[in-house]
Amino acid sequence: MPMPTEDDHLIKLKENVEGPDFERFVVDDECHVIDRLNSDGPSGNYYPGIHGDDHRERILSGRLRDCAADLIVNRRPEETDQDGSKYRPENEESSSICSAIYHVIRASSLHTLEPSVSIQHRFDGVLKRTPKSLQDVTSLSLFRDDIERLLRDLYGDCDSQALDSLLNAIFSVAWQFTRFVRPELYQEHHNACDVQQIMPDGYSIGSGTYRMGYAALKKLEAHVREVRANRSEHSKYTVEFATRHVEDFIRLETADRDTNFFDW
């Protein structure tokens, strides 16, 4: 009799996922919380008496930690341990923003939903909306999009005022946080908002608004140029903004599509 394959297990899981007894979040023998709908995703450690019975929180914490690390690059230099091993100190800024957002989510009404809602309204990983302006594709906006994917996955793919309010709160926390720990991310979004005001939309603008927008445009030019030249120094989201999305809204007018100057 042939041994069952991994595909067989996945098929069986999909057949049972709609059953009334299906549990999405389970704890294995090593006290790891497993998301049975995303078994290849990050798991979380579970300690009875400390974490209570909400296994979903452990998955939320682990996946938030990954998103925060993708936004806040650890720029600390490597250090040498007592045994001569190289290591990089903890990314405290990333951990702090992760903790703040984690507690914002826990305090929201969204967190009161039963895990079964995420099974009844499964998320396919694709957001329904598309970026409509430059500020929709900045590093902070791309980070917010990943948080939205996470929330729709863990709490159910349902549009609601609660979800919109929570996402706005999370974005505000991240934007103000980066103002002090990663000002280039804060300024990137700020400049994108100013540039958007001078994009052609059929409305006239004053000279003061134009000067402000043009100054922001030149700052974004320099920012994109620097990111492209030093990608390893910047977050995943910033590299994505500078190399994949910026030209969807601002055309780069050079022969090699480099950052000489922007035009519409």
Per-residue pLDDT of the chain (264 residues; tens, 9 = 90+): 455 454 444 444 444 555 555 788 888 877 788 888 876 655 666 655 544 567 888 889 889 999 999 999 998 888 988 888 888 889 999 999 999 999 999 999 999 999 889 989 999 999 988 899 999 999 999 999 999 999 999 999 998 899 999 999 999 999 999 999 999 999 999 999 998 888 766 466 778 888 888 899 889 989 999 999 999 999 999 999 999 898 888 765 453 344 443 443
**98 near 77, Cβ under 8 Å?**
no
Distance CA 175, CA 187 (A): 9
Which run of H or of E encompasses 61?
A: helix 55-71
Paired tokens of 206:
């004053």
Domains in the chain: boundaries: 6-74+91-263
**159 near 129, Cβ under 8 Å?**
no
What pLDDT was estimated at residue 32? 80
What pLDDT was estimated at residue 16? 52
What pLDDT was estimated at residue 250? 75
**99 near 195, Cβ under 8 Å?**
no
What pLDDT was estimated at residue 12? 47
Paired tokens of 39:
């078994």
Is 173 in a helix, a strand, or coil?
helix
106-115: long-range pairs with CB below 8 Å, 24+: 106/57, 108/162, 108/165, 108/166, 108/169, 109/162, 110/151, 110/155, 110/160, 110/162, 110/163, 110/166, 111/155, 113/155, 113/156, 115/23, 115/24, 115/25, 115/56, 115/154
pTM assigned to the model? 0.83
Is 65 in a helix, a strand, or coil?
helix
Which letter does DSSP use for residue 22 in this model? -
